[in-house]
Amino acid sequence: MSHKMPREIAPGVFWIGDCLAQRHKGKVYHGYNAAYLIVGERASALVETGHPKDFPVIERHLAELFARGIAPLRYLFVTHQETPHCGGLGRILARFPETILCGDVSDYHLAFPQYEHRMRSMDEGDAIDLGGRSLMAVEPVIRDLRTTWWGFETRERVLFPGDGF
């Protein structure tokens, strides 16, 4: 089994990001700050931005995927306002000027006023049409923050629960 990233975890759904190595009492524990790319016929959506330290890796993974000719990045969906989930938000919006931030976007305009016109609030059941598949905002079972939404990709039925699992 190959552990190379980016990894397609379902048809048209790619896991991107990097390992988060943490040391504790002489041992190294590996975790991850995951981001996912959902590829539709007309557009792609990035779920989470990863930790700021992961941006070069995420940018490289996105470039590799876009070099394959997949649909352009048009949407960014973050589950909630914590650094491992939205820490690369400003960099993604700067790097991909056609991309719209979606989800509970309250307060993001305070940190990124230059991108306020590219923020789209979503409510439960609202969906982003990517062409042949959608990403829907769903009520979280575990609400990490008051701004938490989970994402649900409708074609392959992939749940993006943020910190929920």
Q: Are 43 and 131 in contact (CB under 8 A)?
A: yes
| Class (C level, CATH) for 7-160 | alpha beta
Residue type, 80: H
Residue of 151, 154, 162, 165 whose CA lies nearest to 12: 154
Kindly report, residue by residue over 39-82, the tens digit of the pLDDT: 999 999 999 998 888 899 999 999 999 999 999 999 999 998 77
Residue range 74-99: mean pLDDT, rounded = 90
Cα angle 94, 100, 104 (rounded to 5 degrees) comes to 115
Bridge pairing between strands 134-138 and 127-129: antiparallel
Could you report the per-residue pLDDT of 103-122, keeping only the tens digit for each?
Answer: 999 999 999 999 999 999 99
The C-alpha atoms of residue 80 and residue 148 are separated, in whole angstroms, by: 5
pTM for the whole structure? 0.91
